[in-house]
């Protein structure tokens, strides 16, 4: 059995956010080949990417001080996702950081440590009708190992890689 695994925690079928804020205080593992992520998926029953996906945060293990926030939809997904990035005040694995998205009608804003660093609206899409975020989205937390973006793990990659969650908070309207 390989020491490399991927673990996922989800609120699918339990809690979803229609409008409001998702906020997570967490230490994310870093190291070559790791890609910890906190993200939301749409509950509209459409196949990905048509269901919509909001990556609240992704930290490529070899870039421990950079966080990425990205939206994926019908015509903007994978490397064509639309988002931004910002520098963290410290290594993602050494300190707790608060990652958040504020999901309002026709606007999603990404935050780290209470500071906004990217806002997406339908007008920023090449086809504004492909805005798919006016729906319930459930939350997922996972640590992926390997893949195109982080590359393969090596002898320096921590195993097990641990995501330490202090809290997950959802504020606003949705389904429970």
**Tell me: the pLDDT tens digits for 139-149?**
999 999 988 89
Question: Which residues, at least 6 apart from 29, have a Cβ–Cβ distance to it below 8 Å?
Answer: 36, 61, 92, 93, 143, 158, 161, 162, 163
- The per-residue pLDDT of the chain, averaged, comes to 93
**Tell me: the pLDDT tens digits for 83-137?**
999 999 999 999 999 999 999 999 999 999 999 999 999 999 999 999 999 999 9
Q: pTM of this prediction?
A: 0.93
Rounded distance between C-alpha atoms, residue 108 and residue 105, angstroms: 8
**Tell me: the pLDDT tens digits for 33-65?**
999 999 999 998 999 999 999 999 999 989 999
- Say whether pLDDT at 8 is over 80: no
- Say whether pLDDT at 2 is over 50: no
Rounded distance between C-alpha atoms, residue 139 and residue 115, angstroms: 21
């Amino acid at each position: 059995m390989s020491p490399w695994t991927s673990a996922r925690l989800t609120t699918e079928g339990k809690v979803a956010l229609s409008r409001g804020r998702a906020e997570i205080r967490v230490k994310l593992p870093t190291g070559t080949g790791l890609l910890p992520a906190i993200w939301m998926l749409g509950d509209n029953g459409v196949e990905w990417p048509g269901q919509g996906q909001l990556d609240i945060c992704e930290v490529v293990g070899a870039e421990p001080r950079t966080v990425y926030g990205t939206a994926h939809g019908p015509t903007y997904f994978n490397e064509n996702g639309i988002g931004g990035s910002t520098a963290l005040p410290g290594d993602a694995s050494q300190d707790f950081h608060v990652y958040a998205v504020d999901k309002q009608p026709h606007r999603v804003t990404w935050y780290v440590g209470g500071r906004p660093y990217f806002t997406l609206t339908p007008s920023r899409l090449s086809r504004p009708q492909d805005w798919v975020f006016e729906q319930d989205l459930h939350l997922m937390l996972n640590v992926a190992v390997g893949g195109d973006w982080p590359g393969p793990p090596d002898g320096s990659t921590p195993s097990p890689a641990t995501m330490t969650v202090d809290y997950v908070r959802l504020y606003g309207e949705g389904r429970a």
